[in-house]
Amino acid sequence: MAGKKYGLDLGTMNIRIFQGGHGLVVYEKNMIAIQRKKEVAAIGNDAFEMYERTPASIVISNPVRDGVIADINNMNKVAEALLKKCGCTSGFMRNNSFYLAAPSDVTEVEKRAYFDLIAHSAYNTHNIFVIEKPLAAALGENINVMSKKGMMLVDMGAGTTEITVITMGGIVVSKLLKMGGNTINAAICQFVKERHHLVIGDKTAEALKIELGHAIPGRGKQKRVFGRDLITGLPANVEVADHLVFDALKDYLFQVVKTIRNIMETIPPELSADIIESGIYFTGGTTLIPELDRLFSASLHVKTVFADKPLESTAKGLGVIMDHASDYRELTFSLRDAAFE
Protein backbone atom coordinates (compact mmCIF):
# COMPACT_ATOMS: atom_id res chain seq x y z
CA MET A 1 0.00 0.00 0.00
CA ALA A 2 1.32 3.45 -0.92
CA GLY A 3 2.42 5.59 1.96
CA LYS A 4 1.05 8.96 2.93
CA LYS A 5 2.86 12.25 3.42
CA TYR A 6 2.64 14.29 6.61
CA GLY A 7 4.10 17.72 7.33
CA LEU A 8 4.65 18.68 10.98
CA ASP A 9 5.01 22.25 12.20
CA LEU A 10 6.01 21.90 15.86
CA GLY A 11 5.52 25.29 17.46
CA THR A 12 6.11 26.27 21.06
CA MET A 13 2.37 26.60 21.70
CA ASN A 14 0.71 24.90 18.73
CA ILE A 15 1.29 21.84 16.56
CA ARG A 16 -0.05 21.75 13.02
CA ILE A 17 -0.09 18.66 10.81
CA PHE A 18 -0.55 18.96 7.05
CA GLN A 19 -1.47 15.78 5.18
CA GLY A 20 -0.72 15.46 1.49
CA GLY A 21 -3.93 15.66 -0.51
CA HIS A 22 -6.03 16.67 2.52
CA GLY A 23 -4.57 19.94 3.73
CA LEU A 24 -4.35 21.02 7.38
CA VAL A 25 -5.79 18.08 9.35
CA VAL A 26 -4.58 18.80 12.91
CA TYR A 27 -4.26 22.13 14.69
CA GLU A 28 -3.90 21.71 18.46
CA LYS A 29 -1.95 22.99 21.42
CA ASN A 30 1.52 21.49 21.73
CA MET A 31 1.05 20.48 25.36
CA ILE A 32 1.05 17.31 27.41
CA ALA A 33 -0.26 16.55 30.91
CA ILE A 34 1.64 13.89 32.86
CA GLN A 35 0.06 12.31 35.93
CA ARG A 36 2.18 10.75 38.69
CA LYS A 37 5.35 11.47 36.67
CA LYS A 38 4.71 8.78 34.01
CA GLU A 39 1.06 8.45 32.98
CA VAL A 40 -0.27 10.59 30.12
CA ALA A 41 -3.38 12.37 31.39
CA ALA A 42 -4.09 14.55 28.34
CA ILE A 43 -2.54 15.79 25.11
CA GLY A 44 -3.07 18.81 22.86
CA ASN A 45 -6.18 20.92 23.41
CA ASP A 46 -7.30 18.65 26.25
CA ALA A 47 -4.08 19.38 28.13
CA PHE A 48 -4.50 23.11 27.50
CA GLU A 49 -7.98 22.99 29.05
CA MET A 50 -6.37 21.63 32.22
CA TYR A 51 -3.55 24.19 32.22
CA GLU A 52 -3.33 26.29 35.43
CA ARG A 53 -6.09 24.17 37.02
CA THR A 54 -4.32 20.92 37.88
CA PRO A 55 -3.55 19.26 41.23
CA ALA A 56 0.05 18.69 42.27
CA SER A 57 0.01 15.15 40.85
CA ILE A 58 -0.39 16.43 37.26
CA VAL A 59 2.33 18.40 35.48
CA ILE A 60 1.60 20.17 32.19
CA SER A 61 4.45 21.14 29.89
CA ASN A 62 5.36 22.21 26.37
CA PRO A 63 7.79 19.74 24.76
CA VAL A 64 9.06 22.54 22.49
CA ARG A 65 10.84 25.44 24.16
CA ASP A 66 12.69 28.35 22.58
CA GLY A 67 11.75 26.98 19.17
CA VAL A 68 13.42 23.56 19.53
CA ILE A 69 12.45 20.16 20.90
CA ALA A 70 13.43 20.26 24.57
CA ASP A 71 11.69 17.05 25.71
CA ILE A 72 11.83 14.48 22.92
CA ASN A 73 10.06 11.75 24.92
CA ASN A 74 6.98 13.88 25.58
CA MET A 75 7.13 15.36 22.06
CA ASN A 76 7.06 11.81 20.73
CA LYS A 77 3.92 11.07 22.76
CA VAL A 78 2.20 14.24 21.51
CA ALA A 79 3.15 13.65 17.87
CA GLU A 80 2.07 10.00 17.86
CA ALA A 81 -1.28 10.80 19.50
CA LEU A 82 -2.08 13.61 17.06
CA LEU A 83 -0.85 11.68 14.01
CA LYS A 84 -3.15 8.86 15.08
CA LYS A 85 -6.03 11.36 15.08
CA CYS A 86 -5.54 12.03 11.39
CA GLY A 87 -5.34 8.36 10.49
CA CYS A 88 -1.57 7.89 10.35
CA THR A 89 -0.91 4.23 11.10
CA SER A 90 2.21 2.22 11.91
CA GLY A 91 2.90 -1.47 11.48
CA PHE A 92 2.73 -2.78 7.92
CA MET A 93 2.35 0.72 6.48
CA ARG A 94 5.95 1.71 6.93
CA ASN A 95 6.55 3.85 3.87
CA ASN A 96 4.87 7.00 5.13
CA SER A 97 6.94 10.16 4.61
CA PHE A 98 7.35 12.88 7.21
CA TYR A 99 8.40 16.47 6.60
CA LEU A 100 9.32 18.56 9.65
CA ALA A 101 10.03 22.29 9.86
CA ALA A 102 12.98 23.25 12.07
CA PRO A 103 14.38 26.71 12.88
CA SER A 104 17.40 27.73 10.83
CA ASP A 105 19.43 29.42 13.56
CA VAL A 106 19.90 26.35 15.81
CA THR A 107 22.66 23.77 16.29
CA GLU A 108 22.96 20.59 14.25
CA VAL A 109 22.23 18.58 17.40
CA GLU A 110 18.95 20.47 17.84
CA LYS A 111 18.04 19.85 14.19
CA ARG A 112 18.89 16.16 14.57
CA ALA A 113 16.19 15.91 17.26
CA TYR A 114 13.56 16.41 14.56
CA PHE A 115 14.79 13.29 12.78
CA ASP A 116 14.99 11.34 16.02
CA LEU A 117 11.40 12.26 16.84
CA ILE A 118 10.11 10.13 13.95
CA ALA A 119 13.01 7.67 13.64
CA HIS A 120 12.48 6.53 17.26
CA SER A 121 8.69 6.40 16.98
CA ALA A 122 6.29 3.59 16.11
CA TYR A 123 6.28 4.63 12.44
CA ASN A 124 9.61 2.94 11.67
CA THR A 125 10.45 4.84 8.50
CA HIS A 126 13.55 6.37 6.96
CA ASN A 127 11.49 8.77 4.85
CA ILE A 128 12.14 11.71 7.16
CA PHE A 129 12.94 15.16 5.82
CA VAL A 130 13.74 18.39 7.64
CA ILE A 131 13.07 21.78 6.06
CA GLU A 132 14.33 25.04 7.47
CA LYS A 133 11.25 26.74 8.85
CA PRO A 134 11.75 30.16 7.18
CA LEU A 135 11.81 28.50 3.75
CA ALA A 136 8.62 26.56 4.50
CA ALA A 137 6.87 29.68 5.81
CA ALA A 138 7.87 31.66 2.71
CA LEU A 139 6.55 28.94 0.40
CA GLY A 140 3.32 28.93 2.40
CA GLU A 141 2.91 32.59 1.49
CA ASN A 142 3.49 31.92 -2.24
CA ILE A 143 6.93 33.52 -2.17
CA ASN A 144 9.38 32.30 -4.81
CA VAL A 145 12.28 31.25 -2.58
CA MET A 146 14.25 30.09 -5.64
CA SER A 147 14.36 33.62 -7.06
CA LYS A 148 17.71 35.36 -7.47
CA LYS A 149 16.26 38.35 -5.69
CA GLY A 150 16.58 38.50 -1.92
CA MET A 151 13.68 38.73 0.53
CA MET A 152 13.31 39.03 4.30
CA LEU A 153 10.87 37.01 6.37
CA VAL A 154 10.05 37.70 10.02
CA ASP A 155 8.30 34.82 11.80
CA MET A 156 6.88 36.08 15.12
CA GLY A 157 5.80 33.00 17.05
CA ALA A 158 4.88 32.26 20.64
CA GLY A 159 8.32 31.21 21.88
CA THR A 160 10.66 32.70 19.30
CA THR A 161 11.00 35.30 16.58
CA GLU A 162 13.12 34.31 13.59
CA ILE A 163 14.33 36.94 11.14
CA THR A 164 15.71 35.51 7.91
CA VAL A 165 17.08 36.74 4.59
CA ILE A 166 16.51 34.26 1.73
CA THR A 167 17.76 34.12 -1.85
CA MET A 168 18.15 31.39 -4.50
CA GLY A 169 16.70 28.70 -2.25
CA GLY A 170 19.18 29.35 0.54
CA ILE A 171 19.45 31.34 3.73
CA VAL A 172 21.90 34.25 3.75
CA VAL A 173 21.47 35.11 7.41
CA SER A 174 19.04 34.07 10.12
CA LYS A 175 18.68 35.35 13.66
CA LEU A 176 16.54 33.53 16.23
CA LEU A 177 15.33 35.67 19.13
CA LYS A 178 14.20 33.63 22.12
CA MET A 179 11.17 35.82 22.65
CA GLY A 180 7.68 36.05 21.21
CA GLY A 181 4.05 36.02 22.24
CA ASN A 182 4.85 34.21 25.50
CA THR A 183 7.36 36.93 26.34
CA ILE A 184 4.57 39.49 26.06
CA ASN A 185 2.29 37.37 28.25
CA ALA A 186 4.95 37.15 30.96
CA ALA A 187 5.46 40.92 30.80
CA ILE A 188 1.71 41.53 31.11
CA CYS A 189 1.59 39.31 34.23
CA GLN A 190 4.48 41.27 35.73
CA PHE A 191 3.01 44.70 34.92
CA VAL A 192 -0.42 43.76 36.37
CA LYS A 193 1.34 42.48 39.49
CA GLU A 194 3.39 45.67 39.90
CA ARG A 195 0.70 48.23 39.10
CA HIS A 196 -2.44 46.55 40.45
CA HIS A 197 -0.99 44.14 43.05
CA LEU A 198 -2.89 41.35 41.33
CA VAL A 199 -1.50 37.95 40.38
CA ILE A 200 -2.95 36.61 37.12
CA GLY A 201 -2.25 33.49 35.05
CA ASP A 202 -0.91 33.06 31.53
CA LYS A 203 -4.37 32.46 30.08
CA THR A 204 -5.62 35.76 31.49
CA ALA A 205 -2.53 37.53 30.15
CA GLU A 206 -3.16 35.99 26.72
CA ALA A 207 -6.76 37.27 26.80
CA LEU A 208 -5.52 40.77 27.67
CA LYS A 209 -3.03 40.67 24.80
CA ILE A 210 -5.70 39.58 22.32
CA GLU A 211 -8.34 42.10 23.42
CA LEU A 212 -6.21 45.12 24.37
CA GLY A 213 -2.94 44.53 22.53
CA HIS A 214 -2.18 47.28 20.02
CA ALA A 215 1.05 48.45 18.41
CA ILE A 216 -0.10 52.09 18.53
CA PRO A 217 -1.06 53.37 22.03
CA GLY A 218 -3.96 55.59 23.01
CA ARG A 219 -7.22 53.74 22.27
CA GLY A 220 -8.48 54.04 25.87
CA LYS A 221 -9.96 50.53 26.10
CA GLN A 222 -10.14 48.51 29.34
CA LYS A 223 -10.85 44.95 30.41
CA ARG A 224 -11.78 43.57 33.84
CA VAL A 225 -9.65 40.63 34.92
CA PHE A 226 -9.73 38.32 37.94
CA GLY A 227 -6.84 37.00 39.99
CA ARG A 228 -5.36 36.86 43.47
CA ASP A 229 -4.70 40.00 45.50
CA LEU A 230 -0.98 40.15 46.25
CA ILE A 231 -1.53 41.73 49.68
CA THR A 232 -4.56 39.90 51.10
CA GLY A 233 -4.17 36.65 49.18
CA LEU A 234 -7.90 36.72 48.39
CA PRO A 235 -9.65 36.66 44.99
CA ALA A 236 -9.93 40.13 43.45
CA ASN A 237 -10.56 41.88 40.16
CA VAL A 238 -9.33 45.07 38.53
CA GLU A 239 -9.79 47.06 35.33
CA VAL A 240 -6.69 46.83 33.17
CA ALA A 241 -6.13 49.61 30.63
CA ASP A 242 -4.75 49.06 27.15
CA HIS A 243 -1.76 51.31 27.81
CA LEU A 244 -0.51 48.73 30.34
CA VAL A 245 -0.59 46.05 27.64
CA PHE A 246 1.24 48.38 25.26
CA ASP A 247 3.92 48.99 27.88
CA ALA A 248 4.29 45.22 28.26
CA LEU A 249 4.77 44.56 24.54
CA LYS A 250 6.81 47.58 23.44
CA ASP A 251 10.18 46.21 24.62
CA TYR A 252 9.67 43.07 22.55
CA LEU A 253 8.69 45.08 19.47
CA PHE A 254 11.74 47.32 19.98
CA GLN A 255 14.02 44.26 19.98
CA VAL A 256 12.46 42.98 16.75
CA VAL A 257 12.94 46.35 15.02
CA LYS A 258 16.50 46.61 16.34
CA THR A 259 17.41 43.12 15.06
CA ILE A 260 15.91 43.78 11.63
CA ARG A 261 17.95 46.98 11.36
CA ASN A 262 21.13 45.18 12.42
CA ILE A 263 20.61 42.53 9.75
CA MET A 264 19.89 45.12 7.08
CA GLU A 265 23.18 46.82 7.96
CA THR A 266 25.21 43.63 7.50
CA ILE A 267 23.82 42.10 4.29
CA PRO A 268 25.15 43.06 0.81
CA PRO A 269 23.68 46.29 -0.64
CA GLU A 270 22.09 44.44 -3.58
CA LEU A 271 20.05 42.29 -1.17
CA SER A 272 19.03 45.41 0.75
CA ALA A 273 17.79 46.91 -2.50
CA ASP A 274 15.75 43.76 -3.22
CA ILE A 275 14.15 43.89 0.23
CA ILE A 276 13.31 47.58 -0.12
CA GLU A 277 11.67 46.81 -3.46
CA SER A 278 9.63 43.78 -2.34
CA GLY A 279 9.09 44.70 1.32
CA ILE A 280 9.53 42.66 4.50
CA TYR A 281 7.21 39.67 4.95
CA PHE A 282 5.73 38.97 8.38
CA THR A 283 4.09 35.79 9.63
CA GLY A 284 3.50 33.96 12.93
CA GLY A 285 0.75 34.31 15.52
CA THR A 286 2.15 37.42 17.20
CA THR A 287 1.64 39.39 13.96
CA LEU A 288 -2.08 39.35 14.75
CA ILE A 289 -1.52 42.30 17.10
CA PRO A 290 -3.32 45.21 15.40
CA GLU A 291 -1.40 48.05 13.75
CA LEU A 292 1.93 46.21 13.60
CA ASP A 293 2.15 47.08 9.92
CA ARG A 294 2.02 50.79 10.71
CA LEU A 295 4.60 50.47 13.48
CA PHE A 296 7.11 48.46 11.45
CA SER A 297 6.66 50.55 8.28
CA ALA A 298 7.26 53.75 10.21
CA SER A 299 10.22 52.34 12.17
CA LEU A 300 11.97 50.62 9.27
CA HIS A 301 10.95 52.86 6.34
CA VAL A 302 10.22 49.73 4.31
CA LYS A 303 6.96 48.32 2.98
CA THR A 304 5.58 45.50 5.12
CA VAL A 305 3.57 42.51 3.91
CA PHE A 306 1.57 40.54 6.50
CA ALA A 307 0.27 36.99 6.01
CA ASP A 308 -3.52 36.57 5.88
CA LYS A 309 -3.35 33.38 7.96
CA PRO A 310 -0.04 33.72 9.80
CA LEU A 311 -0.59 30.70 12.03
CA GLU A 312 -0.74 28.38 9.01
CA SER A 313 2.11 29.67 6.82
CA THR A 314 4.68 27.02 7.75
CA ALA A 315 2.23 24.10 7.57
CA LYS A 316 1.01 25.26 4.15
CA GLY A 317 4.60 25.56 3.00
CA LEU A 318 5.27 21.97 4.04
CA GLY A 319 2.27 21.03 1.91
CA VAL A 320 3.80 22.82 -1.09
CA ILE A 321 7.06 20.91 -0.63
CA MET A 322 5.23 17.57 -0.28
CA ASP A 323 3.15 18.20 -3.39
CA HIS A 324 6.20 19.25 -5.44
CA ALA A 325 8.94 17.15 -3.85
CA SER A 326 11.07 16.96 -6.98
CA ASP A 327 11.04 20.75 -7.47
CA TYR A 328 12.12 21.48 -3.89
CA ARG A 329 14.36 18.50 -3.20
CA GLU A 330 17.37 20.74 -2.57
CA LEU A 331 15.49 22.52 0.24
CA THR A 332 15.13 19.35 2.32
CA PHE A 333 17.62 17.42 4.42
CA SER A 334 17.25 13.69 4.82
CA LEU A 335 18.62 11.45 7.54
CA ARG A 336 21.37 10.36 5.15
CA ASP A 337 22.70 13.86 4.52
CA ALA A 338 26.21 14.38 5.79
CA ALA A 339 25.24 17.51 7.71
CA PHE A 340 23.29 15.37 10.14
CA GLU A 341 25.55 12.32 10.44
- Domains of the chain (ranges; CATH) run 5-136+314-340 (3.30.420.40), 143-306 (3.30.420.40)
Q: Are 260 and 152 contacting, i.e. CB atoms less than 8 angstroms apart? A: yes
pLDDT value at residue 341: 47
Give the C-alpha separation, 11 to 100, whole Å.
Answer: 11
Per-residue pLDDT at 215 exceeds 70? yes
Q: What is the mean pLDDT of residues 320-334?
A: 92
With 0-12 CB in 10 A as exposed, 13-18 as middle and 19+ as buried, what is 319? buried
Average pLDDT across the chain, whole number: 93
Q: φ, ψ for residue 152 (rounded to 5)?
A: -115, 135
The reported pTM is: 0.94
Report how far Cα 96 is from the mean position of its chain's Cα atoms.
Answer: 25
Q: What element of type H or E holds 306?
A: strand 304-306
Inter-CA distances, 191 with 195, 224, 240, 248, Å: 6, 15, 10, 7
pLDDT value at residue 335: 66
Per-residue pLDDT at 338 exceeds 50? no
Q: How confident is the model at residue 123 (pLDDT cuts 50, 70, 90)?
A: confident
Q: What is the mean pLDDT of residues 252-278?
A: 97
Per-residue pLDDT at 36 exceeds 70? yes
